[in-house]
């Protein structure tokens, strides 16, 4: 149940999008990150390998640069 809140957000997104998984990739990535953070739930895999390379690039571009 450690990641159930992430799972519920993902499932809610799917329901609202007519089960269009592409519209819920952010939620899916957050859910998988939660599962990987708790190693007993899922083996740690690079998110790029799981198909989220483009979302990771967006995340890093949003972070302000330190001066």
Domain extent listing, the chain: 3-60
Q: Model-level pTM? A: 0.71
- What is the distance, to the nearest Å, from the Cα of residue 8 to the centroid of all Cα atoms in its chain? 13
Mind giving me the DSSP string for 2-17?
Answer: TTHHHHHHHHHHHHHT
Cα 7 to Cα 31: distance, rounded to the nearest angstrom: 6
List, run by run, the mean pLDDT of 10-residue segments along the chain (67 residues). 93 96 94 88 86 76 56
């Amino acid at each position: 149940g450690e990641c159930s809140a992430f799972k519920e957000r993902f499932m809610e997104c799917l329901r609202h999008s007519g089960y269009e998984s592409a519209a819920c990739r952010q939620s899916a990535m957050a859910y998988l990150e939660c599962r990987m953070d708790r190693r007993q739930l899922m083996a740690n895999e690079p998110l790029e390998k799981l198909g989220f390379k483009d979302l990771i690039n967006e995340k890093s571009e949003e972070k302000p640069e330190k001066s």
